[in-house]
Amino acid sequence: MDKISWFHRIDLGDGRVTPGIDDTPAKLARLHLPADLTGLSVADIGAWDGFFSFEAEKRGAQNVMAIDSYCWSGDGWADDSGFRYAHAALNSKVETLFCEVMDIDADRLGQFDVVLFLGVLYHLKDPLTALEKVAAITRGRLILETKVDRLSTETPSFAFYQGTEMNSDPTNWWAPNESGLIAMLKSVGFSRVEVVTSPKPLWQRVWRKPNPGESWWSAVNQCRMTVHAWKE
């Protein structure tokens, strides 16, 4: 376990927790994932080490599909070894699909009762088309967590990150503001959107320490949020 570059902190039992750099349990609390998923089908797009896939299974999901490509390919700083290790340690039945978001095909995959789309949207060059792909496989609830930006603007708006502008990461491309995110979701067919974790208020954001190369004003305008969306 110590030889793997972990992102998620996964409780494997017997006192073993993977040493991920992400505070995944805290993120789970912000998602408002239903406590009981008994009998439901779940797709976890951007599964990485699989924390949320395994959590859905733990909460009774009948079948779970973990979907990823970049984080499993080894093109970044990790590969699928964390997922495979945790899958074996948990004796999990989660299924896997190596697939880019833009290659998701509803005719091949069908639809899922719950779709998790966590920390992925801002890594995509074409976020609206990606949301169309996600919407096509969502039968029930979409749970989306993402970076948001331009929070001082109420009109639907997006920030574009050039090069390594955001977090020194060249895979970050776009982040909407809150109204922009809601507008996008409604444009791809989600008629009801509920904000379950709002961006932090301005008085809290002003104390955020900017990342290297980032201005104070950029830091103030950025945060994270979670929404649930339905097509009903």
The number of distinct structural domains making up the chain is 1
Please state, as a whole number, how many other Cβ atoms lie within 10 Å of the Cβ of residue 105.
11
Average pLDDT of 155-184?
Answer: 86
Q: pLDDT band for position 151 (50/70/90)? A: confident
Average pLDDT, the chain: 91
Mean pLDDT of 60-72: 96
- Residue 155 in any domain: the answer is yes
Report pLDDT digits (tens) over 203-229.
566 666 766 666 655 666 678 899 999
Q: Does residue 130 lie in a domain region?
A: yes
Which three-class secondary structure string do you get for the chain? CCCCCCCCCCEEECCEECCCCCCHHHHHHHHCCCCCCCCCEEEEECCCCCHHHHHHHHCCCCEEEEEECHHHHCCCCCECHHHHHHHHHCCCCCEEEECCHHHCCHHHHCCEEEEEEECCHHHCCCHHHHHHHHHHCEEEEEEEEEEECCCCCCCCCEEECCCCCCCCCCCCCEEECHHHHHHHHHHCCCCEEEEEECCCCHHHHCCCCCCCCCCHHHHHCCEEEEEEEECC
pTM: 0.91
158 occurs within a structural domain? yes
By percentage, how much of the chain surpasses pLDDT 70?
89
Domain-embedded: residue 223: yes
pLDDT of residue 207: 63
pLDDT digits (tens, 9 = 90+) for 85-94: 999 999 999 9
pLDDT in tens, 38-51: 999 999 999 999 99
Please state the rounded mean pLDDT for residues 113-125: 96
Structural domain contains residue 101? no
Assigned domain for 60 exists: no
Handedness of CA 109, 110, 113, 117 (dihedral sign): positive
Cα 46 from Cα 65, distance rounded (Å):
11
Contact between 62 and 36 under an 8 Å Cβ cutoff? The reply is: no
Range of the domain at 185: 123-136+146-232
Query: Does some domain include residue 207?
Result: yes
